[in-house]
Chains A and B, each alone.
Chain A
Amino acid sequence: MLSRRELLFGRLRAGVSRAVPSTPPPPPPDDSPKVAVIQGRHCLAYRELMCSTCYERCPEEGAIVIERGIPQVVADLCTGCSDCHDVCPAPTNAILMLAPRPTINRGKP
C-alpha cells in the first residue's frame, strides 16, 4: 500500500518521466522547524479558481482544511514537511514555510 504522501506522487511512473521540468527544483529544506502559511493573495482558491492541490496532497490528516473552497493550515497539525509548498501550482507559489510562532499557551506540555 502507498502512503497518503506517495499516493499521488507517481510512484507507479518510475523511470517514465519525459516532461522535464525547466524550473529549478525548490531549495533543499533546512532542518529548523517550519509551518506552512498560505498567502491568500497568491492562492488560486481565494479567487474562486477551484484549486485544492495542497489540501489533497497534504500527508497529515487534518493539517489543511477546506471551507467553501478556501484552504487553511491547522498549524498545530502541520509537521512542516513542505509537500504543499512543493506542489502548489499557483503562478506565484502561495505557500510559505515559516518558523512557527513561539508555542505559548498552546495547552501542550
Chain B
Amino acid sequence: MKAMQFSKVKGDKNQHKVVVYALSTCVWCKMTKQYLKDNGVEYEYIDVDLLNEEDKQKIRQEIQNKSGSLSYPTTIIDNKVVVTGFRKDLLKEALGI
C-alpha cells in the first residue's frame, strides 16, 4: 500500500513546522491553506476525507496525540500549538505574521 502523502507548499517563512489537517470539501480548510500561502508560510497539509480507512485511523491517532480535536481544519504548529478552525488571529499570533 502507498504511504500516506502530505502535500507540501513552499514558502519563505519556513522557521515553523506547520501541518494542516483538512477536508477537501471544507471551505474553511481552503481559506486556512490560502491564508498561509498568501502570507508566504511554508506548510504541509493532508485532506483526511480522501484517505483510506487505515490512514484515517493513523491520522486520528496523530491528531489526538497532539491533543487536537477531530474537527477541521486543525493546524498544528511545531508539534505543540493547536489551532482549531480557521482562526486568523491565532495563526497570526503563533506564526508571527
Say whether A and B bind each other: no
Chain A residues near B (Cβ < 8 Å): none
